[in-house]
Structure 1
Amino acid sequence: MRHRASDTLSGVTAALPLFPLGTVLFPGLVLPLHIFEERYRKLMRDLMALPADEAREFGVVAIRSGWEVEHATPGGESSDGLTTSTSLSLYEVGCSAQVRQVTEHPDGRFDIVTVGRRRFRIVDVDTTAGPYLHGRVEWLDESAGEPGLADALAPGVLEVFQRYLRMLRGETSTGEQLPDDPNVLSHLVAATASLTMEDRQSLLAEPDTVSRLRAERKLLSREVALLDQIRAVPATLAELSNRSAPN
């Protein structure tokens, strides 16, 4: 069965194996995975069988609804198995993951390290080609947006992001070297801030760097205001999180 996302997409399209996950991947960000379920073991074997000069790449796409995620924790802490429970619904925009490191275990499991490479929009999905999904995707440009505006917006976003990190961690300094490149910064902020998956997905789908930075400035300002309110409450975050609701 094939699910069509759009018949009006333009640009270069390509075939790409898809890996639905309960997370959003951004270009340039590292995503380690523990491959447990057989369908994704097969995906890894297929990727490793490619010629050495071909990119070992698959598409990470966030699950909107319709699949139960069993132990789907990135980072190798547990299995990333997915089992179909109802009709599958995926977000249209995802990010390809390029395999950088592979460790195959004797029992057939894999530990891999991937890096987000390029964004795509799903044109359609083929669920009959094999044990894992195959998609036809349109690659999305990493456009800066209005000339010069990304460079103008980046310092303000960086400033509020650093304030957000200091408030979140209770530190006076982040102690981190953050990127100067506006596009790299926009993806790092989106991946690092404690946002909902819907917010992250919305940032991934922004058409250009300027749009993403503007959206992040708004989201970070909201988060900073919320943290300010929490700090005004005469209780620690731990106390707030441990309070039980009345029966």
Structure 2
Amino acid sequence: MGTARGPFEPEFSELPQQIPVFPLSGALLLPGGRLPLNIFEPRYLSMVRDAMAQPHRLIGMIQSRDDSEEDSLYHVGCAGRISSYSETDDGRMLITLSGTSRFRLLSCENVEDGYHLARVTWTEFEADLTLTEAQINRDHLIDVLRNYFKLKGYTVDWDHIQDCEDERLVSTLSMICPFEVSEKQALLESPDLAARAELLVAILEMASHSEHDEQGAKH
């Protein structure tokens, strides 16, 4: 059995059947993760105001595929609770979403203010609401990560990485690394932490091989 993620997170029975969704390719949110957002479009300012008026304060993050079709949204996204909020003098809202649970998109419509309101189901993702432990090969993940960051030329606080517990480490890396949209979606849809960690290692290894080949071709 896992433990609840935090005192302000909703119970599974409290999750709504409709939530506003923010389509943003490349912006991945995972349960337990934290995603800062800079909101400036009028329709999404309205979306944040409406979400803040609800007890759950949830917004669904969902990616679209690499095309521009209207029906290009992926079917699985992740809802986040607005856990911090501030306003700027130039009319923007700075918010942070704390990842609550993944959802499956059933239907989507535009509301009068222009943003998307989605009908969703949470049934297959009930386990997202609790912290669970999983066996991952952390040492191998760190080794692959060192090679990836070295090839990319990134400066990294390794002490901080070593201090991260497994779920936070895997979630943060999945969210911040510059992966393809399809790769981020695959990480989101991984059934559990162990599967997500395995996929993360595979993506890092493929990216490292590609980066190594590109650097070799330049010499």
Relative to its length, the structure with more helix (as a share) is 2
Q: Is the 8 A contact 2:65 2:181 kept in 1?
A: no
Percent of pairs with identical residues: 26
Q: Is the 8 A contact 2:174 2:184 kept in 1?
A: yes
Relative to its length, the structure with more strand (as a share) is 1
Other-structure match for 1:244: none
1: distance between equivalents of 2:179 and 2:136?
A: 24
Q: SS of 2:107's equivalent?
A: strand
- What TM-score, normalized to structure 1? 0.67
2: distance between equivalents of 1:88 and 1:107?
A: 33
Q: SS of 1:64's equivalent?
A: coil
| Aligned: 1:161 with 2:139 | no
Amino acid in the other structure paired with 2:104: R
Aligned residues: 199
- Give unmatched runs, 5+ long, in structure 1: 1-10, 68-85, 236-247
Larger Rg: 1
Deviation at 1:63, TM superposition (A): 1.6
Other-structure match for 1:17: 20
Q: How big is the alpha-carbon RMSD for the aligned residues of Structure 1 and Structure 2?
A: 3.0
CA gap of 1:184–1:175, structure 2 versus 1, over 3 A, is closer
Q: SS of 2:30's equivalent?
A: coil
1: distance between equivalents of 2:174 and 2:67?
A: 25
Other-structure match for 1:227: 211
Other-structure match for 2:9: none
Deviation at 1:91, TM superposition (A): 0.7
Other-structure match for 1:116: 99
Q: SS of 2:44's equivalent?
A: helix
Other-structure match for 1:8: none
2: distance between equivalents of 1:131 and 1:152?
A: 43
Q: Is the 8 A contact 1:66 1:88 kept in 2?
A: no
- Cα deviations across residues 149-198 of structure 1 (Å, max 9, x unaligned)? x4243332232123212332266x75342255333332222123221111
Deviation at 1:201, TM superposition (A): 0.8
Match of 2:185 among 188, 201, 207: 201
Other-structure match for 1:41: 45
- Give unmatched runs, 5+ long, in structure 2: 1-12
